Amino acid sequence: MLGLRLILPAVFCLATAAVVLPKAVPAATPAERCTAMIAVLEAAGEGADGMAAVIEVVKNRTADRRFPNDACAVVAQDRQFQPVGEWPALRRALAQPASFDPAAMLQRGPGTRSLERALELTRQRPRGLTQGALYFVNPLAMDPRHCPWFATLKRTVTIKNHVFMTHYGSGEKRGAPALDCSDPKIGSLFKQGTTLASRYAQGLFHPEGPRTATRTPTRAEREAWRRTGQMEARGRELQRHFQPGWIVLD
């Protein structure tokens, strides 16, 4: 019994020393949830830098007197973010930021992986990716009627498919137009009369609400593409627009 008394404390100390408790992850604030959601919807297919750039724009707006000082109010503003305009359920959810659950809206599918990354990015200090941008647009997907207004802004940077812009400062010398509205590619996707979401599989932004949580085609669509010999071409088209992991064609 004496030996047992001497050994047990040593074993206990070794066991407790080996236990490393994970750091508690703070619950996301409404501002973080709103910002992360729009980053996923606008730029998940463009990787971490694409999402971080969208997050920066939201934060830049909250610090600018021309916009609300609340991230959820910025995201919910009318005619500012395409996914909000195309998804009525999202607009309604953003009106109640305290209860807004982006993971539930993504149906807790593969898109939640991007959401987790976006939430991490919202907690990081801005890296200046957008150089103070207040606006961004995909020139191919935009309504070309808005091009003249965007063209008056100052282009700061282009990240993947998005051009980032801001206003010129007082007395600042103006440079070239932010967009070349004579370019026939401007609004080329918009002119096809369909949203990116409805064109590239199910879509988070379908006007009637999300059908699935990713841009992965349904089994029926894949079978139809195989029957009509379109599978390879459709696959290439999707690969051009979205990163691996967002689409499954097996």
Residues 110-149: pLDDT tens digits? Answer: 677 888 999 999 999 888 999 999 999 999 888 899 999 9
Exposure on the CB side of residue 159, measured as CA atoms within 13 A: 26
| Terminal CA-CA length for the chain | 65
- CA 185 – CA 128 distance, rounded (Å): 29
pTM, to two decimals: 0.70
What pLDDT does 62 receive?
96
Q: Work out the pLDDT band at 216, boundaries 50, 70, 90.
A: low
What pLDDT does 175 receive?
93
Exposure string of 168-185, with b = 16+ CB inside 10 Å and e = fewer, is eeeeeeeeebbbebeeee
Structure-block tokens of residue 72: 């959820």
Q: What percent of the chain has a predicted confidence (pLDDT) above 90? A: 41
Asked if residue 48 has pLDDT above 50, the reply is yes
Q: Where are the domains of the chain?
A: 30-122, 191-241
What pLDDT does 4 receive?
37
Query: What pLDDT, in 10s, does the model give residues 138-193?
Result: 998 888 999 999 999 999 999 998 999 999 999 999 999 999 999 999 988 887 76
Amino acid at site 205: F
Cα Rg of the chain (Å, integer): 23
Structure-block tokens of residue 33: 């949830």
